[in-house]
Chain A
Amino acid sequence: MPAVQETIDQVRGIDIDQYKYGFETVIEVDKAPKGLSEDIIRFISAKKQEPDWMLEWRLDAYKRWLTMEEPTWARVEYPKIDFNDIYYYAAPKNVTGPVSLDEVDPELLRTYEKLGIPLREQEILAGVQTSKVAVDAVFDSVSVVTTFKKELQKAGVIFMSISEAIREHPELIKQYLGSVVPTTDNYYATLNAAVFTDGSFVFVPKGVRCPMELSTYFRINEKNTGQFERTLIIAEEGAYVSYLEGCTAPQRDENQLHAAVVELVALDDAEIKYSTVQNWFPGDKEGKGGIYNFVTKRGDCRGARSKISWTQVETGSAITWKYPSCILRGDDSRGEFYSIAVSNGHQQIDSGTKMIHLGKNTSSRIISKGISAGVSQNTYRGQVSIHRRAENARNFTNCDSLLIGDKCGAHTVPYIEAKNQSAQIEHEATTSKISDDQKFYAMQRGIPEEEAIALIVNGFVKDVIQQLPMEFAVEAQKLIGISLEGSVG
């Protein structure tokens, strides 16, 4: 049909250079020499003023990593990464960790202002910013500021950069770090254990409901610099916390590496809600540049009746390799995964989840919405595994893919294994194209083409958007619209 022919032409002329966050901050930096070695790891550890045991932990991981092979099973293609051609540490000069807001370099404050990240507590309290959200701002390899720390402290909640936590709460770090994602877990996670530079630490003690949303905002600024974030969130018995992660990077011709590890631990009756709005630079219209995002995120429902829920809106990155997972260890625990993955231009996404049912009466729910445009490839890869002891485990999976144009691809790769006969597993999958009928109908009512597409797509992802905290839902909807700009006329 002509409509399709036209879409093809438009896709050919695709322009995804709409990335709003592509600017660079010019600031003096302190860098480690390029490349990876034991010395570099010692350098990072020293910069962070870490105790010896932490350095040993890193070095062990490094030795292990040297014996490992890069995984190749994902449906993504990229030239071999030269791990010695990367800077592993870059920090704004004279910043080794978060300071009070008055001491933060004004250039950095301006950067976060431009990104729309609220850092000034006074303004938030005065109602200039509408929502009250505590922010940990990580710039390249360091956390530059963490807001609302005092107020959170009053409630007993610890929210600080992981570097600080290693110094100030070594007992908690020793107990929990690597307890969900062991240093031996996989190639990128092991690399992360060796060279991680910053990230957030959250500890919500027994019975406490965290009084506000917490969020970490990651920004990669320096050229050729990898960002190795490490985040650890612990909710003790009956605790509740909702946490949001946001990410952007300047527009650069070279690819940059982001290899994060996020560990969540929920004890009895605890609940952790983790939301991500990932908007790393996706590369330009020729597919040049963009972030390689290799991420290991895992939650451990360690306690009975605990609940972990992952919600992700993935619009950026040249390559996304990411499977936020839940280990349902506690009886009656519940894991959820809600995902929207939008790929346009030359982006490649291989993402999904793993739900590992170990305890009795555990349940999991997976809702994945993939939207592909341009010449992108979008793969959902999900594993549901019911172990022998997991009586009455239940899973519901729904994977829908939406294609815009006909040069892109959507793939669904489910792995299901049930070793207990009482398991109930439901799997639904659909693939559809935005129909010309729907588009024409909306346009006939006076809605211009791009708005019509955005409206239809937002309808398609509604189930997931509803899972996001209010303030971010609106943001995410806009972001999806922007990511798809230029996918049609």
Chain B
Amino acid sequence: MLEIKNLHARIAEDGTEIIRGLNLTVKPGEIAAIMGPNGSGKSTLSYILSGREDYEVTEGDITYNGESILELDPAERASKGIFLAFQYPVEIPGVATMQFLKVAMNEQRKARGEDELTTPDFMRRVKEAAEQLKIDPAMLRRPLNVGFSGGEKKRAEILQMALLEPTLCILDETDSGLDIDALKIVADGVNALRSPDRAVIVITHYQRLLDYIVPDTVHVLYKGQIIRSGDKELAQELEANGYADVIETAA
């Protein structure tokens, strides 16, 4: 479903290479965890997958469902089903969360040649999804992410994911800032989206999240490359021993 081949990418502004020959394949239905030390390029990879223009791909390719997506802008990639739950969700003052959701859902439908949602249909979907994630409906009337607590922001990301029904979900440290109950609610939300034709990439530092969202594969990202891949045991090994062994073996 997602195929990243020998990807090299740099910061467009100053040319610093961050991703240095990265290979990764994610199959439909798969849950892939990406772990790695701070600053190794995990968030950068998620931005490049979703088309942020601050990065330049200098070599290699990313194909999604068999097609290269390098020429597509972020909105086009989103309408093809790529969703990124941000490590640091962005505040948009003056735009009610509800309004943002409606615009986003309808723009994606438009791009796919589908009819716009009717208001009652939209309201019903939002209400259901919000209930599942235990989000207070009053929060949805507030401007998007403005004054939301860290945990509320993360929950709002998962709400958007549930409503947009993407086929590739990238979760960048969605667990950070969540209390134990919230972590479980969010994990349930992600698990509810699990399906044979949907893949999930979970970026995290902690085994804790992977206890709830059990990965099929685990990959270690270091200095812009995947230096080790394995199954869920690998995450446990890292939790116990840290990255030193893995980095040494790879070197």
Contact = CB atoms under 8 A, between A and B. Distances in A.
A451 B13 contact: no
Interface in B66-112: 73-75, 77-79, 83-84, 86, 89-95, 100, 103-104, 107-108, 111
A1 B100 contact: no
Interface stretch (A168-176, A238-246, A438-446): A438-446
B103 A455 contact: yes
Interface string A1-27: 111001000000000000000000000
Interface in B100-151: 100, 103-104, 107-108, 111, 143
A460 B92 CA distance: 9
Contacts, number: 89
Interface string A427-443: 00000000111101111
B185 to A, nearest CB: 21
Contacts of B79: 446
Interface string A107-147: 00000000000000000000000000000000000000000
Q: Interface residues of B toward A: which range?
A: 20 to 34
Candidate in A451, A459, A463 with the most chain B CB atoms within 10 angstroms: A459
Contacts of B103: 447, 451, 455
B56 A2 contact: yes
Contacts of A456: 92, 95
A1 B13 contact: yes
Contacts of B84: 444
B92 A442 contact: yes
B74 A459 contact: no
A462 B79 CA distance: 28
Contact of B92 (A3, A443, A459, A463): A459
B53 interface: yes
Given A3-B53, A446-B164, A438 B78 contact: no
28 contacts: A2-B54, A6-B53, A435-B90, A436-B54, A438-B90, A438-B91, A440-B74, A443-B74, A443-B78, A444-B51, A444-B74, A444-B83, A444-B86, A445-B100, A445-B104, A445-B107, A446-B107, A446-B164, A447-B75, A447-B107, A449-B73, A451-B103, A452-B75, A458-B94, A459-B92, A459-B143, A460-B94, A462-B95
Given A444-B51, A459-B93, 18 more contacts: A1-B13, A6-B53, A438-B90, A438-B91, A441-B89, A443-B51, A443-B75, A444-B86, A445-B78, A445-B107, A446-B104, A447-B107, A448-B75, A451-B103, A452-B75, A455-B95, A456-B95, A460-B94
Interface of B: 12-13, 50-54, 56, 73-75, 77-79, 83-84, 86, 89-95, 100, 103-104, 107-108, 111, 143, 160, 164
Interface of A: 1-3, 6, 435-438, 440-449, 451-452, 455-456, 458-463
